[in-house]
Amino acid sequence: MLEIRNLHAGIDGNEILKGINLTINKGEIHAIMGPNGSGKSTLAKVLAGHPQYEVTAGEVLYEGRNLLELSPDERAREGVFMAFQYPIEVPGVSNAQFLRLAYNEKRKHLGEEELDPLEFKDLLKERAKVVEMDASFMIRSVNEGFSGGEKKRNEILQMAVLEPKLSVLDETDSGLDIDALRVVANGVNQLHTPNDAIILVTHYQRLLNYIVPDFVHVLAGGRIAREGGKELAFELEEKGYDWIKTAENGKGAGAPAN
C-alpha cells in the first residue's frame, strides 16, 4: 500500500529525514518510535503533505502512485488520514458541518451521492459510538474549548467518518489520561480492518499495550535505526532511547547512508 524509498525531507533548509525506507502492506499496523527530534512527526507531516516541509530526495508510492505530487486534500480524498498531535480549532464551524463537508468531498471524489444533513446526522451518531462521544460534541465548534482528551477523541471520530485506507496517528496518546487512552485505542482497534493500514507515531510504549503493532521501527537522527516486532517496544521501554542513539552515531560515522 505504501512504499517509502530513501526519503529525505526537512523544513527551512534543515534536513530532518535522512533516507527513510519503509514498506507498509494492507492490514498492518506499524509503530514509529524514537526520541524527541528523531523525525517521527516530520515523517507523518510529509506523508500528509504539510506545506512547510520539503522533500529533497526519494519517493513515496501510495497504491502505486506518486503520493508526493498530490495536494494535501487530494491525498485525503485518496484515503490518507493523519490524526494531529495538536488538533486545530475552527471557531464558528460546527463539528457536524465540518465532518459532513469532509465526508461529502470524499463521496464526490468516489462518484457517490452526497449525504444531506439529516442522513449525515444518522451516520455521525453511529460512528460517534466508536469513541463514545455524545451528540453535544457535534454542535460545538471544531475543537474549540475541547479538553486535550476530547480533541484526540475527535480526531479518531474523524477517522471513523472518513474511513481512510492509511491512517497516520501522530502522538495520539500524548496528553491522554489512562481512561481516555483506552477509549481512543478501542476506537482505533474497532476501525482497523484487513483492508487498511495504520502508522502509529509515538514516543512511549504505553499506547502499544492497547493497539498492538505488527512492526516497530525506531527512528534516530532521521533514519530508521532499529526494526522489529512488538517486543522491540518493550526493549525500548526498559532501556530508553540512549543506546540506540549511541549505536546510530557510531554507525553514522563510518557507514554511508544507503
Enumerate binding residues for other proteins (CB under 8 A). Answer: 48-52, 71-73, 75-77, 81-82, 84, 87-88, 90-93, 97-98, 101-102, 105-106, 109, 141, 158, 162
Measured torsion, CA atoms of residues 71, 190, 180, 123, in degrees rounded to the nearest 10: 70
Q: Which CB, 85 or 202, lies closer to other proteins?
A: 85
Fill in the DSSP letter of residue 222.
T
CB of 90 to other proteins, least distance (A): 6
* Dist CA 25 CA 83 (whole Å): 20
Min dist CB 118 to other proteins, Å, is: 17
Alpha carbon distance 83, 188 (integer Å) = 11
Q: To the nearest whole angstrom, how small is the minimum distance from the Cβ of residue 167 to other proteins?
A: 11
Strands 197-201 and 166-170, sheet pairing: parallel
CB of 76 to other proteins, least distance (A): 4
- Give CA–CA dist 90/93, Å, rounded: 6
> Which amino acid appears at position 74 of this protein?
E
| DSSP per-residue codes, 152-191 | HHHHHHHHHHH--SEEEEESTTTT--HHHHHHHHHHHHHH
Closest CA to 34 of 224, 182, 258: 224
Q: In the bound complex, what is the minimum distance in angstroms from residue 83's beta carbon to other proteins?
A: 10
Q: Give 81 or 241: the residue with its C-beta nearer to other proteins.
A: 81
Nearer to other proteins, 3 or 163 (CB): 163
C-beta closer to other proteins: residue 158 or 202: 158
DSSP β-bridge partners for residue 57:
8
Residue closer to other proteins, measured from CB, 3 or 105: 105
Q: How far is CA 222 from the centre of its chain?
A: 18
Residue placing its CB nearer to other proteins in the complex, 97 or 186: 97
Closest approach of Cβ 13 to other proteins, in Å?
A: 18
At which residue does the C-alpha cell 517521527 appear? 40
| CA–CA distance, 227 with 204 (Å, rounded to integer) | 16
Query: CB-wise, 10 or 87, nearer to other proteins?
Result: 87
User: Nearest distance from residue 169's CB to other proteins, in Å?
Assistant: 13
46 close to 75: Cβ distance less than 8 angstroms: no
